[in-house]
Amino acid sequence: MITMSFGEPALIGRVLARTYFSESQRKREMFGRSRAVLLLVLMALAIPALGRDDGRYANSPLKSWFESLQSEFGQCCTNADGYIVSEPDWESDRGRYRVRIDGEWVVVPDGAVITQPNRAGRTMVWKHYIDGHPRVRCFIPGSMT
């Protein structure tokens, strides 16, 4: 038979309480760190990727036209560069568009389609990424010739 002195149960209780509170505290700290990492990731995603303006188009007669383009998702050239899309990389079916970006076919949302006349003449897309997949911010169809 094991006997304990009067002080031993109190000591065991304190050790168990420390273990419990230590584990609980570790969980809170992990949760706090996870929240901090999540917050940093969300902040990084919220900061728009800035398009480059290295001055090579400063004297282009189409510069102001490009800068004026916007879709329902906002101005096209503000946060992204426009890319020319070759004929095999886009298609139209019953007024809906699809475009291949980085090897992935992406449906162009109706709100991304620019309906004003295309002064550049070529099909162009302004893209961004969500969860590593390309999305269309703006799309302007070309002449399809």
Domain parsing of the chain, residue ranges = 1-47, 63-140
Instruction: Assess whether pLDDT exceeds 90 at residue 72.
Output: yes
Average pLDDT over residues 29-43: 61
Task: Please state which CATH number belongs to domain 63-140.
Answer: 2.40.50
**Cβ proximity of 79 and 128 under 8 Å:** yes
Q: How confident is the model at residue 82 (pLDDT cuts 50, 70, 90)?
A: confident
Q: How confident is the model at residue 109 (pLDDT cuts 50, 70, 90)?
A: very high
**Cβ proximity of 99 and 108 under 8 Å:** yes
The three-state secondary structure class of 98 is strand
Amino acid 63 reads K
Greater confidence (114 vs 60) lies with 114
Mean pLDDT (the chain, rounded): 76
